[in-house]
Structure 1
Amino acid sequence: MPFEPDAVETVTFDSYSTLVDVDAAERALADRVADPEPISRLWRLRSLEYTLVANYLDAYQPFYEMNRDALQYALGVHGVDVGPDERDEILAVYHELEVFDDVRDGIERLREGGYDCYVVSNGDPDMLSSMVAHADVDDLLADTISADEVETFKPAAELYRHAAARTGTPIDGIVHVTAGWYDVMGAKHAGMQGAWVDRKGRPWEPVAGDPDLTVTSFHDLADALGC
């Protein structure tokens, strides 16, 4: 259905790939392998797949641990042998990922327009705390909401409903903003509006419907909300 800006009371954001650039994790691999890009891509893919499987098997563990296991798998597939300490040094890049250029100014516009802004993420609380501090947006966010609070990952409806309760907003009064197509669809399924951030000009996934709004930056979102 078309985006309904007048229904929006609260804005929630995903974290990784939405506020900060997970592709920057390649830098942590670059000093250790000749071709870091395929390892980084597999690392990210496996970490997401592990969360989906965990939801169905009741096998929750914090996302940082999921990410550690995914990194170990990706390194092993590509024949890279690193010890636990070196692996954890690579993993620590998630505490210092680069923030996208439009994030701070875009959220400032939303705040000035009267919208409370939250992060809703699979990341565990320590990851989110460091991510928000490094991105320099802690003063703009009302709070961060972690999957760890319900021990259930996206795109399970339980997490989005929990987020709505935490924000004190009716679920249909929230627009969830994310670069993840599955996150858009999870939010919509739970009752939120879903806005897809397409910074890279990629095609939309042809499954399960369309986003309510597609933007290329947070400034486009602010425009859509009249900020």
Structure 2
Amino acid sequence: MKNVRGIVFDLYGTLYDVHSVAAPCDRYHPGRGREMSALWRQKQLEYTWLRSLMGAYVDFEQVTHDALVFASHHLKLPLDRAACSALCQEYLKIQPFPEVPAALARLQAMALPLAILSNGSVNSIRSVVAASQLEHHFAHLISADSAQIFKPHDSVYQLAEQQMQRHRSELLFVSSNAWDASGARHFGYPVCWVNRAGNTFDELGQSPDHVIQGLEQLADWIAS
């Protein structure tokens, strides 16, 4: 086994499919759900970065709400308060990618403590993980709320090192988001990038230590 004494996962887009909200969006605006979901996610990310730069932190649930309001206005898709609230609730129960439950079980069987480090609020993380009934796999659920700023700021990545009581060099950080993988690598974590869609890694002066196409490959690589 490689020198890995714990694994830290990103949540959104890595373990859980953010576009599982496309189907609920489609119920309100038939045929526009995927488009709405894509813009919603894009603005959600942008707002975390912009608020971090502005020093104007709000929790992830507020960011998610604001991004949805923008998306509906921009796409000229009417969304009343009740519908907006209902769709935000859908973000609290997004679905894991199909391979995730089995992959987590394999990694847990290797006696490796598993953690989630997410920009999600404490409530968001717990709600998503509980809805999928995967909470028993994780020793730590760690929120950017504790740092009052969002990834990719170093102070967020530091939270996992502190809570897991392991040096960053011993914790493998796993993310499907290239910007997040770059931030974690800059902080000093060894990084595994999950590239399900065949994307190009961001040019931010960092490179992942390993690339996989799905989490089912992670346990094989660690054990090799």
**Normalising by structure 2, what TM-score?**
0.95
Q: Which amino acid aligns with 2:128?
A: M
What's the counterpart of residue 143 of structure 1?
Answer: 140
* C-alpha distance after superposition, 1:5-53 (max 9, x if no partner): 6332110101111111111111111022142222211110011001001
Structure-2 separation of matches of 1:203 and 1:55:
25
- Cross-structure match for 2:189: 192
Q: Does 2:65 match 1:84?
A: no
Q: Secondary structure of the equivalent of 1:31?
A: helix
Q: CA deviation at 1:96?
A: 1.6
Equivalent of 2:63, from 38, 51, 66? 66
Runs of at least 4 residues of structure 1 off by over 4 A? none
The 5-angstrom pairing of residues 152-191 of structure 1 reads 152-191=149-188
Give the secondary-structure state (helix, strand or coil) at the position aligned to 2:96: coil
- Structure 2 counterpart of 1:158, one-letter code: S
Residue aligning to 1:23: 19
Picking from 118, 129, 133, the partner of 1:132 is 129
Matches within 5 A, 1:104-119: 104-119=101-116
Question: Could you tell me how far apart the structure 1 residues matched to 2:27 and 2:106 are?
Answer: 39
Query: Which amino acid counterpart does residue 173 of structure 1 have in structure 2?
Result: E
Q: Percent identity?
A: 26
Alpha-carbon separation, structure 1, partners of 2:28 and 2:111: 46
Alignment partners' CA distance in 2, 1:208 and 1:83: 43
2:110 is the counterpart of 1:95 = no
Query: What is the alpha-carbon root mean square deviation over aligned residues?
Result: 1.4
State the one-letter code of the partner of 1:31: R
Length-normalised TM-score, structure 1: 0.94
Corresponding residue to 2:10 among 7, 11, 14: 14
Matching of residues 18-57 of structure 1 within 5 Å = 18-33=14-29, 34-57=31-54
Deviations 1:130-165 (A, max 9, x none): 111122211111010000111111111111112110
CA contact (8 A) 1:104 1:136 kept: no
Name the aligned partner's letter for residue 200 of structure 1.
Answer: A
Q: Distance in 2 between matches of 1:6 and 1:129?
A: 30
* Stretches of structure 2 lacking an aligned partner (at least 5 in a row): none
Aligned length: 223
In the TM superposition, what whole-angstrom CA distance separates every residue of 1:103-148 from its partner, at most 9, and x where no partner exists? 1111111111121000000000111111111222111110100001
